[in-house]
Amino acid sequence: MNILYEDQEVLVAEKPVGMESQSAKSFEPDMVSEIKKHINKVSPNSGEPYVGVIHRLDKPVGGVMVYAKTKNSAESLSKQVSGHQMEKIYHAVVCGKPVENSGTYVDYLWKDGKNNCSKIVEKGIKGAKPAELDFRVVDKTQQNGEEYSLLEIKLKTGRHHQIRVQMAGHGTPLWGDQKYNPSFQQKKIRADIALFATSLSFVHPVTKKKMTYTVKPKGQMFDLFSL
């Protein structure tokens, strides 16, 4: 866990690929337990640390996250999320190329909790929620006769598996996505999904200063591009 910033109110860290962003039922490490260990190590006599989960990243996705260290900060940051004031930028490698070099996708997603997946559905479907993102093609390349595009994606809403579902639904599924990319659903090989949360901006709950943290996307497919 790479800590990018910390004070009495917030902690910004880079979540590793393959780690849960909140407390997990398994015995594997998760971000909340790792942050609590860190706080206990730095301040061993402060009692049980408070770690507020503000937003989430899928287990196979790494990148920048912010956690609250007080309830007041958690409330402030959560309001920024619900008010779409927290800016989240991702990089992704998709199979193929979008029709346009930049654009906006607006869809309605329905979460299938039983199978842990989401689907693009019609607006009137019960439980369907609007999902919106902006994208732009940063670069493209070919490998073994296949075309791949590097996208910068700005999330406007935060739905379950949103980027993965919308990109697949619009004909450019993410490389390595065994849940939504048909090319990888039959493969037994382990492949890190080519999606990374590269930048996060928010207003500090106390100082009211805008804070932005950026990390370089990591993963085997990102190495094909100059970043």
What domain count does the chain have?
Answer: 1
Give CA–CA dist 162/224, Å, rounded. 24
Per the structure, the complete domain to which residue 25 belongs is given by 2-224
- The β-bridge partners of 14 are 2, 64
Containing H/E element for 62?
A: strand 62-68
Q: Which residues contact 212 (CB under 8 A, 6 or more apart)?
A: 87, 199, 200, 201
Positions of E strands within 96-172? 102-112, 117-121, 129-143, 146-155
Residues of the chain falling short of pLDDT 70: 187-190
The pTM assigned to this predicted structure is 0.91
CA angle 156, 200, 85 (to 5 degrees): 45
Q: What is the CATH number of the domain that holds 205?
A: 3.30.2350.10
pLDDT of residue 219: 79
pLDDT, tens only, 121-161: 999 899 999 999 999 999 999 988 999 999 999 999 989 99
pLDDT for res 47: 80
Q: Length of the chain in residues, anyone?
A: 227
